[in-house]
Every structure is written in structure tokens, then in C-alpha cells.
């Protein structure tokens, strides 16, 4: 005599849903948490970090994520010293510094500002000036555009993987519940 067990309809579907939820839960536990962005920070600079320019621009521009209340310092130094021309100007979230002409070589733009929320934002940007450098002689290779600023591509990969796993689980459930013709 053979023994048969009676299962409730849809028990396979419930197991599939449980498996998908378990995988998504594990991915959420292991996913890195991005840093909190509670304070304003530098959003964009011209010249950019590690930029290679044929000639030194007439002005440097710093754009922050929020309005700037005060400029403590903006300095641009090159092979022959400072190329800053006058005091930096401020307009909302943008700080501009006029520049004198300068020789080819390595430059550093140093900034120290106070954001509207009262926090100090400081840093430096290094860039190169020179026609030979801009043409590719001695230029360093650029980093991959897919990599994030802190080197964590997981900020994109993990959410994408979660969406794919959830979609596969939903497709599996839909195919199992579809009535047979």
C-alpha cells in the first residue's frame, strides 16, 4: 500500500516566497550602509581633482551642496607659488577665485569655508597644467567611472542584485499560479 500525503494548494509557492524573502533579508544584512551626509560638502570644482589642463584657467570655481556663509581661505599654488588674484567671491553655494597666469606644472587649490549650517568645510584639489601633460605625456590613468568616490561599487551592485532576486521570485510565483491550458 502506498502512502500519500495531502498538501495544501500553494505550499510550493509559500516556500518560494519564504526563500526569496530569506535571500533578500540576508542581502540587506550584508549590504554596506552609505555614510550619512548631514553636513554640506564640496560637490564640484573647476579645475577638478586630478584634472589635466593645457593652460591655467582665469578663475577657479568651487560649488558646494549648500549655501556658503563665509570664506576663510581659497589658495591656489603652483610651481612658482601663489596664483590667486585678489580675494575669493561668494554667491550662494558657489565660491570663485580669480587666478593669475602661471607656469606649467602641479597645482594645489586649498579651500576652507563655513557652510550656512555653521560647519567648516575644508580640503584640497590637486591638478596639472601643461600642454605636454594634457596631450598624454606622463598623464596618470583616470579611475573607472563605475567606481564610487570611496571605492565601494556595492552601493550600486547590492540594490541591483536585490531587485533581480525579487523579480525572479515574483516571476517564479506568477508562473506557478498561472492556470494550465
* Domain count within the chain: 1
Q: Is residue 9 part of a domain?
A: no
CA distance 159 to 155: 7
**Phi and psi angles of residue 58, each rounded to the nearest 5 degrees, phi first:** -80, -10
**More confidently predicted of 154 and 56:** 56
Q: Is residue 122 part of a domain?
A: yes
Residue 36: is its pLDDT beyond 70? no
CA distance 123 to 109: 8
Per-residue model confidence (pLDDT) at position 143: 38
Place of cell 555653521: 118
Q: Is residue 86 part of a domain?
A: yes
Per-residue model confidence (pLDDT) at position 23: 77
Please give the helix or strand (H or E) that residue 82 lies within, else none: strand 81-82
Residue 53: is its pLDDT beyond 90? yes
> CB-based burial of residue 178 (10 Å sphere; 0-12 exposed, 13-18 middle, 19+ buried)?
exposed
Percent of the chain with pLDDT over 90: 49
pTM score, two decimals?
0.55
Amino acid at each position: 500500500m502506498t502512502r500519500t500525503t495531502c498538501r495544501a494548494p500553494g505550499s510550493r509557492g509559500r516556500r518560494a516566497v519564504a526563500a526569496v524573502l530569506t535571500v533578500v533579508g540576508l542581502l540587506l544584512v550584508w549590504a554596506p550602509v552609505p555614510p550619512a551626509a548631514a553636513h554640506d560638502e564640496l560637490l564640484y570644482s573647476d579645475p577638478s581633482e586630478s584634472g589635466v589642463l593645457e593652460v591655467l584657467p582665469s578663475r577657479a570655481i568651487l560649488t558646494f551642496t549648500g549655501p556658503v556663509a563665509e570664506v576663510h581661505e581659497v589658495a591656489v599654488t603652483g610651481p612658482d607659488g601663489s596664483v590667486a588674484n585678489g580675494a575669493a567671491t561668494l554667491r550662494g553655494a558657489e565660491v570663485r577665485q580669480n587666478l593669475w597666469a602661471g607656469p606649467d606644472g602641479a597645482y594645489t587649490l586649498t579651500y576652507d569655508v563655513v557652510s550656512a549650517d555653521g560647519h567648516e568645510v575644508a580640503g584640497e584639489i590637486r591638478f596639472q597644467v601643461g600642454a605636454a601633460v594634457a596631450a598624454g605625456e606622463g598623464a596618470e590613468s583616470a579611475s573607472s567611472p563605475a567606481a564610487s568616490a570611496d571605492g565601494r561599487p556595492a552601493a550600486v551592485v547590492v540594490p541591483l542584485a536585490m531587485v533581480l532576486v525579487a523579480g525572479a521570485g515574483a516571476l517564479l510565483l506568477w508562473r506557478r499560479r498561472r492556470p494550465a491550458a
